Amino acid sequence: MDIKVKNKLLQLYKKHFSADADSFEMLPLSGSYREYARLGRAGHSVIGAFNADVKENRAFLTFSRQLADAGVPVPEIYLVSDDHTTYLQEDLGTVTLFDFITEVRKSEGFSRTITDEYRKVLDVLPRIQVEGGKRIDYSVCYPRAAFDKQSMLWDLSYFKYYFLKLARIQFDEQLLEDDFQRFTDYLLSADSDYFMYRDFQSRNIMLKDGAVHFIDYQGGRKGALQYDLASLLYDGKADIPQQVRNELFEYYLDQLEKFIPVDRFEFMRFYRGFVIIRIMQAMGAYGFRGFYENKEHFLKSIPYALDNLEYLLNRLDLPIELPELTKVLNEVTGSSFLRSIGHEKHNLTVRITSFSYKKGIPADPSGNGGGFVFDCRAINNPGRYAEFKPLTGKDPQVQKFLEEKSEMKAFLSAATLLVDQSVKNYIDRGFTHLSVNFGCTGGQHRSVYAAEKLAAHVRNNFPVNVVLLHKEQD
């Protein structure tokens, strides 16, 4: 940060608080060109911001006031410089939703603890979109007042030039442009008379004092409800399990219906389209920041985006034909080049399997033998209860039972410590395979839960290939 900018922020602080700040700490740069610092005195701090883009600042400052009026928890703005390039705002702490997810996953996997935080976010999202949308002055939106055809085509071109071309994906440019036109026309037929946050993802949600708060909405504009939900639930590195996504999707619609009536079938059809364009927009950013600006952080998000895209393509049900776009997206998900980047290259595959002891311990197909076999049968069995019999360890009801009414947490913690030790050693020694097996009586509840949680933990903490199999489910 330039010394003149630093002095300007210090002067704003003194003017507003009638005292000199005795601390000043630059905050790490993120994906934008804005600069932030934490400054203040003992027991109290604020965030100082600098951005040379006055129009973007005006959007943020105006939206902050209007969203606060709608009851949305956003940072209070204390003071703005006369030239609108610097301002002071409330310090909402250091813990983002993404930080919280990352930390909890180390010990619990993607547990109910994390899902409950997402529910807090989704309690507020309809208020941002509907009540906030009624108060927003769309004349200050920057760079566009709405997520209109021009905005969508910008995002699609961003994807084409900064991702497809740099990722070496071949395409017919005219046919792809024709599909872009059809795709945007379809998305524009969705109801779009709401406030669209634009970058509604886990790094822009702060957790403080048990509540959620929202930042970085300066790109907001008028748009469809589905876009922000897509941004949150398909947030790349947050890597929300698909079953949890489905649960949170329904929860959001329940909250939305408190504000407006909802046709759930139509909402879902448009939602999948908006998920696709959101992922393409994010990939454009990954390409620009990663391939073009050589920022490795962005390249690490690509594998998550590929997995999300692959899942969606297998279930896409749009009422329009997009042959070239579909072909291109399938080539993206199948690209060995894209699959190889974003991680340090290690050849270790961790094969995690759930099984039934009635049918025996699974063989190790690698031929190496060894590995771990963990017996889950000492853990309180949800299969003994009628309401859980038709379910599996993937179902939220079973997961809640195991987390609250069994010894699973301590069992899995001990197993995880042993597996982590081997994974670290195997990486260092260049080994290629490790097998981990969880068995229970029927291979349906306890072993499935344990295998799912360990697989999520290993994926999130080690640069290895994880193969997850449920012998009795698959």
Q: Quick one: average pLDDT of 234-246?
A: 88
Q: Quick one: average pLDDT of 45-56?
A: 97
pLDDT tier, 367 (very low <50, low <70, confident <90, very high otherwise): low
Per-residue confidence (pLDDT) for residue 296, from 0 to 100:
79
Q: Quick one: average pLDDT of 440-454?
A: 96
Per-residue confidence (pLDDT) for residue 430, from 0 to 100:
74
Whole-model pTM: value is: 0.74
CA distance 230 to 272: 8
Whether 358 contacts 422, CB under 8 Å: no
Choose among 219, 196, 215: nearest CA to 72.
215
Candidate from 78-92, 314-328, 365-379 with smallest mean pLDDT: 365-379
Average pLDDT along the chain: 93
pLDDT tier, 343 (very low <50, low <70, confident <90, very high otherwise): low
**pLDDT tops 60 at residue 345:** no
The residue whose two tokens read 């922000």 is: 228
pLDDT tier, 32 (very low <50, low <70, confident <90, very high otherwise): confident
Crossing angle for the helix pair 173-187 and 264-286, to the nearest 10 degrees: 140
**pLDDT tops 70 at residue 403:** yes
Q: Quick one: average pLDDT of 184-193?
A: 98
CA distance 200 to 187: 19
Q: What is the DSSP annotation of 315-382?
A: T---SS--HHHHHHHHHHHT-HHHHHSSS-----EEEEEEEEGGG-PPP-TTS----EEEE-TTS--G
Per-residue confidence (pLDDT) for residue 267, from 0 to 100:
96
**pLDDT tops 60 at residue 346:** no
Q: What is the pLDDT of residues 190-230, one digit of tens each?
A: 999 999 999 999 999 999 999 999 999 999 999 999 999 99
Q: What is the DSSP annotation of 238-266?
A: G---HHHHHHHHHHHHHHHTTTS---HHH
pLDDT tier, 30 (very low <50, low <70, confident <90, very high otherwise): confident
> Residue 308: beta bridge partners?
none
**pLDDT tops 80 at residue 390:** yes
Q: What is the pLDDT of residues 163-183, one digit of tens each?
A: 999 998 999 999 999 999 999
The residue whose two tokens read 């448009």 is: 270
CA distance 17 to 438: 59
For the chain, how far is it from start to end, CA to CA, in angstroms? 55
* Furthest C-alpha separation in the chain: 75
| Separation in Å, CA 138 to CA 23, 59, 189, 245, 289 | 37, 9, 20, 31, 29
Instruction: Say what percent of the chain tops pLDDT 90.
Output: 78
Whether 234 contacts 279, CB under 8 Å: yes
Give backbone dihedrals phi and psi of 434, rounded to 5 degrees, phi first. Answer: -145, 130
> Which amino acid appears at position 3 of this protein?
I
Reading the block at residue 458, the tokens are 């290993």
Domains of the chain (ranges, CATH numbers) = 3-90 (3.30.200.20), 97-340 (3.90.1200.10), 349-470 (no CATH)
Candidate from 47-51, 184-188, 334-338 with smallest mean pLDDT: 334-338
Q: Is 212 helix (H, G, I), strand (E, B) or coil?
A: strand
The strand pair at 372-375 and 194-196 is best described as unpaired
